[in-house]
Every structure is written in C-alpha cells, then in structure tokens.
Amino acid sequence: MSGIIYLLAMIGSVVTLVGSMIFLFKQKTVVDQNGHVTEVEIPFFGKVKSNYPSIVTGFFGAALAAFTMDRVAPDIPRIGLSASVGVAQAANANDLPVLVGVVPQEYFTSTTLDQEGRGVLEFSVEDNKSYNVVVLKPVEVTPEGVRFLSTHGPATIAENKLRFEGVLR
Amino acid sequence: MTPLAPCALALALTALAAPVAAQSQIIGQFDTRITGTVQDETGKPLAGYPVIITEPRTRQNIVVFTDKDGAYSVEGLAAGEYQAVPGTDTARVTPFSVTLPDRRWFQQGAKSAETVTLPEIAVPLGPVSR
C-alpha cells in the first residue's frame, strides 16, 4: 500500500476510535424502529447484540490502527560504514574484485557440527530481500591470524523458506 | 456501565493497537557494552579472531571478531547470564553477567553505557584440535 493509503487508514482509525470513545462516554444507545437494541453483525463472528455499537466501532478502529502501525516501516536512522581492506603481500595485489559483505551483528551466530559433519542454523530474516550466506570454520590459529574453511552462496527459496546448503572447504 | 468502564475499554483498545513485540534476541537496544581482548600464547594480539557470546539458558549466541589490536566488543546485550567462548577453544569458557544500568527516565537516551571488561583470552597457536 502507498503512504497515502496508510495515512488515510490511520486517520480513519483515529477518527473511529475517538468517535467511539465519545459515544461511549455519552452513553449513546442505538435502537431500531421498534425500540429494540441494535444488533451489529461482525464478519466471522456473526451478530452481536449490544446497546453500545460504539464498542464494536472502537474494536474496528483499533484493529485498523494495529494493521496500519504493523505495516508501516519504522524510520530507521542510517550511518555510513567504510570498509578498508588491503593485502598483506603486494604480490597478491591485482585488479580482480575484492568481495565485501556487511553482516548485522544479530545475524552472525554459530553452531556445532554433528558426528557426520553437518549442522543447521535457523534465522528469521526480513522477507522480500535477497541474502547471501557466508559460513566460516576456524581450522588454525597462526601468528598472522585465523585460517578458516569457508563456503558461501545465495539463499534460495525452497518449500516456502530461504535455504542455503554449502560444503566447507 | 460504570463511569470507569469506558476508560477501561479505551485502554484495552489502545493496547490492541500496539505493534506486535519484536522477536526476542540477546542483542537489542540496551545500554550495555562488553569488551575483551584475545592474544596468542606469545602475547601478540590476534586480529580477526572469533569469540562466541552465548546465553546458556536459551542457547542463543552471536559471534564477534577481534580488531587489529585483538580487541572485541559487544554493545546492546540484554540483561542476563552469558559466556564468552573462544572460537577455536570451546572448552575455555568465561562466564559473565550483564545488568542494565540504573538510569532515570531523563537519562535513557544518554550514550554512556557502562563497560564491562572481560578477562583476556590467550589462545594457543596451531591447528584447531576439536
């Protein structure tokens, strides 16, 4: 939905909520021509007898507000991130690409492999985005740093879920 | 309906409109900061070394890497009991606890997280045995 529709939905929910509160405070009742209390039909719930239809109106307003607030993306502040890299030996310097990824801290986690050397980690990530998966396994600590086995690749949709399979080499 | 009933209903409806709570994670917008360092057996700082910060109760963990000075830091950990585990020596566990600083409401936005420094981790050089 566009921002205008969100705005209209939010205004509608506020008007509905405030209006229902006003009617509640004023104790307004609605009766039909025969003097019977109004019946309000709610989808999936059926008819609800109530002399306070504004309660139901307030319910719809709250539901509309909850839906709108849930769908509107929060305004997340951004900051620049500069990644400087270099090679230790000039002989390795050439014009081939250097691959750089930035991983949010909450998505960098670990697991252990079973006896057969397999492991699975479950993540909950934002939908409608593409993800690359990088897996590292430390194999040696050297004075220059840690050497890793690695595997990487895209997570692809399979059975309603993003999946990645790789072999550490 | 009593005079207080509309107020109670208004509160209930407002609660309905609240956004759904975010998924529980050990990293969040908490005013906490944990730091530590990793060095090899000769005392030289190890860069790019993985340290696993684990919450044993939920088994959630995150991985942080040391910088060029062998230092690592974690910001935003929720209050709780944790362990710092070297990525190549998982038998050596450093337990620590995180408590949220006691701040007044007008200090909530202050960038003044209290830093907890963990004991230095010394890692043997060579192939990872496990």
pLDDT in tens, B60-111: 899 999 999 999 999 988 888 999 999 998 888 999 998 877 665 555 555 5
* Predicted pLDDT at A148: 95
Classify residue A118: in a domain, yes or no. Answer: yes
Q: Which residue has the higher pLDDT, A147 or B26?
A: A147
Average pLDDT, chain A: 83
CA triple B90-B91-B97, angle to 5 deg: 80
| Percent of chain A topping pLDDT 90 | 34
B90-119 residues touching A, CB cutoff 8 A: none
Q: Are residues A63 and A119 in the same domain?
A: no
| Percent of chain A topping pLDDT 70 | 84
- State the burial class of residue A48 (Cβ atoms within 10 Å of its Cβ: 0-12, 13-18, 19+): middle
Q: Which residue has the higher pLDDT, A75 or B9?
A: A75
**CA of A74: which chain B residue's CA is closest?**
B19
CA of B127: how far to CAs of A142, A144, B37, B94, B98, in Å? Answer: 8, 13, 21, 22, 33
Query: A53, A71, A89 — which closes off a domain?
Result: A71
Per-domain boundaries in chain B: 23-119
Residues A59, B13: C-beta atoms closer than 8 Å: yes
Residues 6+ apart with CB under 8 A from A75: none
A61 vs A155: CA distance, rounded Å: 39
Q: Are residues A16 and A66 in the same domain?
A: yes
Of A50-64, B39-53, B64-78, B91-105, minimum mean pLDDT range: A50-64
pLDDT of A88 higher than 70: yes
- Which residue spans within chain B are E strands per DSSP? 32-40, 50-55, 60-65, 71-75, 80-86, 94-98, 114-117, 121-123, 126-127
Which residues of A are less than 8 Å from B49 in CB distance? Answer: 141, 145-146
Number of domains in chain A: 2
**CA of A55: which chain B residue's CA is closest?**
B9
* Predicted pLDDT at A1: 53
pLDDT of B18 higher than 70: no
The closest CB to that of A21, out of B6, B63, B64, belongs to B6
Mutation target among B11, B16, B34, B59 for the A interface, most CBs of A within 10 A? B16
Mutation target among B13, B58, B62 for the A interface, most CBs of A within 10 A? B13
| Percent of chain B topping pLDDT 70 | 71
Residues A141, B62: C-beta atoms closer than 8 Å: no
Classify residue A80: in a domain, yes or no. Answer: no
State the CATH architecture for B23-119: Sandwich (2.60)
pLDDT of B5 higher than 60: no
Which residues of A are less than 8 Å from B63 in CB distance? Answer: 108-110
**A-to-B residue pairs, Cβ atoms closer than 8 angstroms:** 91
In contact, B114 and B100? CB cutoff 8 Å: no
Average pLDDT, chain B: 79
Of A82-86, B26-30, B120-124, minimum mean pLDDT range: B26-30
Which residues of B are less than 8 Å from A66 in CB distance? Answer: 16-19
pLDDT of B13 higher than 50: no
Which residues of B are less than 8 Å from A58 in CB distance? Answer: 9-10, 13
Domain containing A13: what range? 3-71
pLDDT in tens, A101-142: 999 888 999 998 999 999 999 998 988 899 999 999 999 999
Whether chain A has a CB inside 8 Å of the CB on B66: the answer is: no
ipTM above 0.90, yes or no: no
* Predicted pLDDT at B104: 59
In contact, A67 and A1? CB cutoff 8 Å: no
